[in-house]
Amino acid sequence: MCIENFVDLGIDFAKWIQFADLNKQFDEHYTDNEEKYFVKGLLKSVFADDYRERLKEISVELLQNYPFEI
């Protein structure tokens, strides 16, 4: 671990809590409905689009700085 591996998401602690809760909710929903969201090993765009919209609701900067492909 080094500082270069960390990304500034542009959110404060309160928004980080929302972000963590969002990830927990999506993980639980996805796990319960996995077969609906996978097509040939790829996430369906409906799930990905919904996740992007929820990130944007927390912070547009969070969506822009999100370090992973959705």
| pLDDT at residue 28 in the model | 87
pLDDT at 42: 60
| Cα–Cα distance measured from residue 34 to residue 31, given in angstroms and rounded to the nearest whole number | 5
pLDDT at 40: 59
Per-block mean pLDDT, blocks of 10 residues, the chain (70 long): 85 96 88 70 73 93 87
Would you state the pLDDT for residue 18?
Answer: 97
DSSP string of the chain, one letter each residue:
--GGG-------HHHHHHHHHHHHHHHHHHHHTHHHHEETTEE-HHHHHHHHHHHHHH-HHHHHH--S--
- Residues 55, 4 contacting (CB under 8 angstroms): no
So what's the pLDDT on residue 41? 59
CA distance 29 to 22: 10
